[in-house]
Amino acid sequence: MSNNVIFWIEDISFSVLWKILKINNKQQNIEIRFLRKTAFGWMFLFWLNFIGLVKKDRVREVEYPVEGMWSENGSILAYENFQLSAQIAIAINRELKDLPMYKKITSYFPSNKVSLYIEKSIYLEIIPLVGLLTLIKWYRRCEKIPQRHIIIWHKKDYYSLLQKTWPDKTVDLIFYVPCYPFLNIRKFIKKLYELFIYFIGYALFKDFEDTSSSKSLIAVHYSEGLDLMKRSDLYWYSDDQIDPRRVCVFFDVYSPPPFARKLTKQIENLGMKWLVLDWVKGMPYNYLKLLWKPHREDFVKLNNICNNKNQFKPLEKWFNNMCVELILQVNFWKMFYQKFNIKIHYEMTETCIGIVAQNIALDIIGGVRFGNQRSETILCNGEGLGFHPDHIFFSWNRRGTVYQSGNRNRSNYCIISGFPYSQALRNKKEKACVLEKTLTDRGVKFIVAIFDNTFFLDVKSSFNTEYSKNMMFTFYKEFLEWIIGDVEIGLVIKSKKHKVFASLPEIHRMLDKVNKTGRCIKLDDIVGRLPSDAAYIADISVGIGISSALTEAVIVSGGKGIHCDLTRLRSHPYYEWGYGKVIFDDINKMMVSLKRYKENPANEPELGDWSLHFDELDPFCDGRGGERIGTYIYWLLESFDNGKNRDEAMQYANKLYAEKWGSDKIIPMSELA
């Protein structure tokens, strides 16, 4: 065993460095890898370097992910991180079930939903920590001389369970207690600010018309926008089926809209209602959370959970606080639904822990939460733990059931609807012809559409994504060099977000050179814009990773497409469908095939050809998924209007949906549990 010790730490701070000095009392050779640094900690490190206790040249920031870092199964480390984080979160929840408070909270709310709330909370919190573990495991596989690896992490109240469920006992996990003076000041200032906003909102707030006796409403959380020609929160809405007065769009701190007053006017012009749950900058004041007052039953629950809390041990206190937060969230949403007689809630938000509380609240009042598949299903268990806790989940295809069950979403039904954004597809082909002519007039004979993806520059956030900056640079570099070197190539770029290009200054000069050729179209107004806008123009489309954009483009345009999977998720069904044809994990081999296809399609007749698998991508392939979903929602409303309860309403809608589009499109998730 080497005498070297590598410390992996969350941040360079006084507390962490002091902990390292205490551990390293044998004066071994040490290295430090950190995720971030504090100003005071960095100064302390300089002093330790000056007196010779820590050599500053052996302290550096963690690099993650780096190309060439693969799990033992050959895929990128992020997938291993997602799976391990989910396994640990589930194991910790299992250990918590012996606590008396666990039995109390599950006597109020469904136990499987409580479990999901706990698992999701822990999962979101430990991803950076487990990300370090997967990184260390890779380093250990590459080490010629074994070294000791120690992770030092800030102490959580559930640290004993985290150590108990830690999946690799050869990597030491040590906790430290941070120094909190500055953090406490920030918390105090934040509380003062929230109190100030509370009183301002209370003074300006105007109550809403009481709707408790009217027909039930559909609540829509503003997330993607209202423009039906793009991705939209109203993709399912049709005024010839659903009265607009029965739709209420709400905003909160997770969805601060641009041009707020213009947006609320647009909602009013549609005949819909709107409201604000939190104080949101730029929004008119109708701050709903100020209205919430605990009912007697809420006090009973809170008192039962908080009883004798001064006698709690740290683990019990932490879990007690989590239970209190869950009760408050559930009862806020219950109040919200009851006050406005909301029976149906549409939600696109994925990571916020409160979405599980919404599900529980709807269980209590007999409502339905529905969501839809937004992205390509990765089918890596744990990749989206609890991200879609919907009663009804609308999926493009049957793989949605695997995603739902693998991520423990506790759904009642998965309903196959096909690609949902049908209204956004109108007149797209005609508009695409104009762009295509722009390229062909410049001598272009072969057009490629490419779709990128987002990545993070800060290391801690990068543990939450499959993509790295180097992946995106490599992807763009190959295509930009191709178009520079071949005057017959045209390129259409549909970026996911503006920050992708802003974060890739290395390609700006090359992109400027390509733009001067006139053979590159970089689509503008990209947020919410569908990939099919680019695919309609192209002879073939290419997306990075298991690309949602590429799958959408193929479904909608019916054209050819390739997944350039630099993440190497070889367990995905696409590898069975056509490795080296519709999916590649080596960009060099992919470019060789593309160039051969460009010279003569007969050279690569199966390249990008999905014709044998269209039914598995979207069994409808008619661009009417949004219409099907809207019709289902109309049937739910109709049932509630006729006095049916939630289960009866879902059964009624399922029956009609099955009669119209096939019983195989209704999949009870209980049968797959």
Residue 285: band (very low, low, confident or very high) from pLDDT cuts 50, 70, 90: very low
Is 190's pLDDT higher than 80?
A: no
The 10s digit of each residue's pLDDT in 506-527 is 999 999 999 999 999 999 888 8
- Quick one: tokens of 143? 């080490």
Check residue 308 and give its pLDDT. 62
Q: What is the CATH number of domain 212-421?
A: 3.40.50
The 10s digit of each residue's pLDDT in 149-185 is 999 998 888 999 999 999 998 999 999 888 755 555 6
The 10s digit of each residue's pLDDT in 410-430 is 999 999 999 998 655 655 666
- The answer to whether domain 212-421 and domain 423-617 are alike in fold is yes
Check residue 257 and give its pLDDT. 63
Q: Residue 151's CB: how many other CB atoms inside 10 A? A: 21
- Quick one: tokens of 536? 């309609």
- Do the beta carbons of residue 420 and residue 236 sit within 8 Å? yes
Is 298's pLDDT higher than 80?
A: no
How far is CA 621 from its chain centroid? 26
Check residue 20 and give its pLDDT. 87
Each domain of the chain, given as residue ranges in start order, spans: 4-182, 212-421, 423-617
Residue 391: band (very low, low, confident or very high) from pLDDT cuts 50, 70, 90: very high
Higher pLDDT, 58 or 634: 634
Weakest-pLDDT range from 179-188, 266-275, 311-320, 562-571: 179-188
Q: What is the CATH number of domain 423-617?
A: 3.40.50.2000
Please spell the DSSP secondary structure of 459-487, one letter per residue.
Answer: HHHHTT-S--HHHHHHHHHHHHHHHHH-T
Weakest-pLDDT range from 252-266, 319-333, 609-623: 252-266
Q: Which among 567, 597, 568, 592 is positioned nearest to 478, based on CA atoms?
A: 592
Is 211's pLDDT higher than 70?
A: no
* Interatomic CA distance for residues 504 and 651, integer angstroms: 51
